[in-house]
Chains A and B, each alone.
Chain A
Amino acid sequence: MWDYTDKVVDHFLHPRNVGEVENPDGIGEEGSLACGDALKLTFKLDENKRIKDAKFQTFGCASAIASSSALTEIVKGMTLEEAQKVTNDDIARYLGGLPKEKMHCSVMGRDALEKAIAYYRGEAEKEIEGEIVCECFGVTDVEIERAVRESNLTTVEDVTDYTKAGGGCESCHDKIQEIIDEVYGKPHVVRLKPAGLTNIQKIKLIEQTLEREIKPSLQKDGGDIELIDVDGNTVIVKLQGTCATCVASQVTLKHYVEAKLRELVTPELVVQEIQS
């Protein structure tokens, strides 16, 4: 069972503002029966152009219903400029949080609100922006990029939780990863082929890996490691500090040092220890 906050349960069992506002100024619909959740939001403005009344109808799970209910409570009394700034995180926060896997319910709320405001302003229904990346849920690259930026998403799984993209056949996972990488400006990891390494490059890479990856974690436990020589694919090292006297030093050497070097330099490497 999901770990819902009391507030989610309360808004689910006692949803506020259910229904449709009469003669609405704004109407926004988001989601579909096929996707398993859908929301219709309507609102009416008062003479000061503040949202006087907002109502919802939702087909979906407890968190979709609670998110919709929360949304209507949040926007009541706001000007459209204020309402426009409401984010999905505001909705989730209002409810004391949502399970990560259910964040897309709050995103649905925000999207319906945007549509309702656009309707009021007479803005034509937006053409689908960008290209569909996830066929299963009809999610575009623009939507994914926006979710990644706004909610600081870092993994494909995060993107699925927030947008549903990637939650079906999974064939779009690579493309989603590319979008994430682009947002954070990460170059795509191009692995060096072992055959592509000259001796000098190999030694340099071994040195770098020892310095950056291996030493710091050994030093944390009071140990250290020194590179003595590289002979072909044999890396000769000397353990120092607590590592030198540790009974599990062979395990450290094989399962940590050697494994790391093999992963980051070339899989042929063998690590040998010389004792002082």
Chain B
Amino acid sequence: MKVIYTDNNATTQVAPEVLDEMLPYFHDLYGNPSSMHSFGGQVARKLKEARQKVASLIGATPDEILFTGCGTESDSTAIQAAIVSHPDKRHIITTRVEHPAVKNLCEYLEKNGYRVTFLPVDRQGRLNPEDLYKSLSKDTAIVSIMWANNETGVIFPIEEIAQIVTQSGVVFHTDAVQAVGKIPIDVQKIAVDMLSLSGHKIHAPKGIGALYVRKGTKFTPFLIGGHQEKGRRGGTENVASIIGLGKACELAGEHIKEENKPVRYLRDKLENEILKRVPNAMVNGDREHRLPNTTSISFEYVEGEAILLMMNEFGICASSGSACTSGSLEPSHVLRAMGVPFTAAHGSIRFSLSIYNTEEEIDFIIEELPPIIERLRELSPYWDQSKTAAIDPVQG
């Protein structure tokens, strides 16, 4: 059975060009970039090149980039660096819709003596910069707000947010893991102090991330060890993956504008056709300010895990914000924060596309999905009722 992969916000396939670039560094060129001999030196040169490529994708200089193990490590490094560097400040601002890498860390810090403001979002998943403005205080050590949401694709007004935060003299970090490579980002123009990105969301392998730290930002390393990364992150570099990340950033930079057109076209086609063919379906989140590859669609009166498993029978891979998929009992905190009614939140499906998706695949989903929803609705006690008497959407 052919696999139709539309779960690219979870992870992406490694681009063939990326893999080609990495392979020699597993066998022929296995030197340690810290070594004094030229066998290691050539690897160090290649690392430098990769750092340059990552930096230029976001408008940074190479010495503002430090490589990490993943997006989560980048987020943790940024937040912990800020609070350790400002020991007198005990307040953190973030949002209710962050990725667990930020959300769970902030909740942990909250239990350990920090005051955390979790900014709300509206029904479209939008943030009101006014709320942020009001929450800032002298005690604020860091503001950490994602660039684009992983579930809905909603893009926050980072330029405006960054301005408000940095004008108040507070450190601003953004988790840009979903945004990098999908929309143009230029840290020269936008006042972010720290920015996280991750390799496996942009066709590099899993297990490599990077953190941009603006020159002059107070910084305390999270991983203390050797002199690697200018002492900002100890540990021998994950050489091949860093080289892969560099290549992936180079490819993304070259194609970001043109590539997004076909991806957006496919996403819109998928979304519009589903909405046309399936009653009681709705898109979650602001459809205008959104990543070009993501759509989160809720199907009322059916449950997400059941939809996923039926799609799986056709080789279609997507993900869901339903509770049952994660082993938790509450549906996605993002959809709940947006006030999506329970009726819909339990039945949400996220499709996230990449340049490797084809129109044929999208057509296949458009054909196969509506009967799946219909079948599950026939099973559902609420579907019949919804046709006769309106069921109140259950709000939480």
Q: Please list the residues of chain A having a beta carbon within 8 angstroms of any beta carbon in chain B.
A: 2, 9, 12-13, 15, 18, 29, 32-40, 57-65, 101-102, 136-137, 160, 164, 167-168
Contacts and interface: CB of A to CB of B under 8 A. Distances in A.
B175 interface: no
Nearest to B325: A61
Contacts of A167: 328-330
B329 A36 contact: yes
Contacts of B153: none
Contacts of B379: 15, 18, 57-59, 65
Interface in B294-318: 301-306, 309-310, 313
28 contacts: A12-B309, A15-B379, A18-B379, A29-B381, A33-B342, A36-B303, A36-B324, A36-B331, A36-B342, A38-B381, A38-B382, A40-B381, A57-B379, A57-B380, A57-B381, A57-B384, A59-B301, A59-B382, A60-B303, A60-B324, A61-B306, A61-B322, A62-B305, A62-B306, A63-B324, A164-B329, A167-B329, A168-B330
Contacts of B331: 36
B196 interface: no
A39 B380 CA distance: 8
Nearest to A8: B309
B306 A34 contact: no
A58 B302 CA distance: 9
A44 B329 CA distance: 33
A12 B301 CA distance: 17
- Of B302, B379, B384, B391, most buried by chain A (CB within 10 Å of CB) is B379
Contact of B322 (A12, A15, A36): A36
Contact of B380 (A9, A12, A59, A62): A59
Given A59-B303, A61-B306, A63-B324, 12 more contacts: A12-B306, A33-B391, A36-B322, A36-B323, A36-B331, A58-B380, A60-B324, A61-B304, A62-B309, A136-B330, A164-B329, A168-B329
A37 B302 CA distance: 9
B368 interface: no
Nearest to A168: B330
A9 B329 CA distance: 21
Contact of B302 (A35, A59, A164): A59
Interface residues of B, number: 29
A139 B331 CA distance: 18
A102 B305 CA distance: 12
A58 B324 CA distance: 15
Interface of B: 301-306, 309-310, 313, 322-324, 327-331, 342-343, 346, 378-382, 384, 391, 394, 396
A64 B381 contact: no
Nearest to B382: A59
The 4 A-B pairs with the shortest beta carbon distances in the complex, nearest first, are A167-B329, A61-B324, A57-B381, A61-B305
A61 B303 CA distance: 6
Given A12-B309, A167-B330, A36 B346 contact: yes
Given A34-B394, A36-B303, A59 B381 contact: yes
A12 to B, nearest CB: 7
Nearest to B344: A33
Nearest to A59: B380
Nearest to A15: B379
Given A33-B391, A34-B342, A13 B382 contact: no
B389 to A, nearest CB: 14
B120 to A, nearest CB: 17
A227 to B, nearest CB: 38
B82 to A, nearest CB: 28
Contacts of A36: 303, 322-324, 329, 331, 342, 346
B329 A58 contact: no
Contacts of A32: 394
- Of A63, A65, A102, A160, most buried by chain B (CB within 10 Å of CB) is A65
B396 A34 contact: yes
A125 to B, nearest CB: 17
A160 B304 CA distance: 21
B383 to A, nearest CB: 8
Nearest to A63: B324
A26 to B, nearest CB: 15
A35 B381 CA distance: 14
A107 to B, nearest CB: 13
A137 B381 contact: no
B303 to A, nearest CB: 5
A39 B394 CA distance: 17
Contacts of A168: 329-330
B303 A64 contact: yes
A213 B255 CA distance: 65
Nearest to B324: A61
A95 B378 CA distance: 22
A164 B327 CA distance: 11
Given A61-B303, A65-B306, A39 B342 contact: no
Nearest to A165: B329
Nearest to A64: B303
A12 B379 CA distance: 11
Nearest to B313: A13
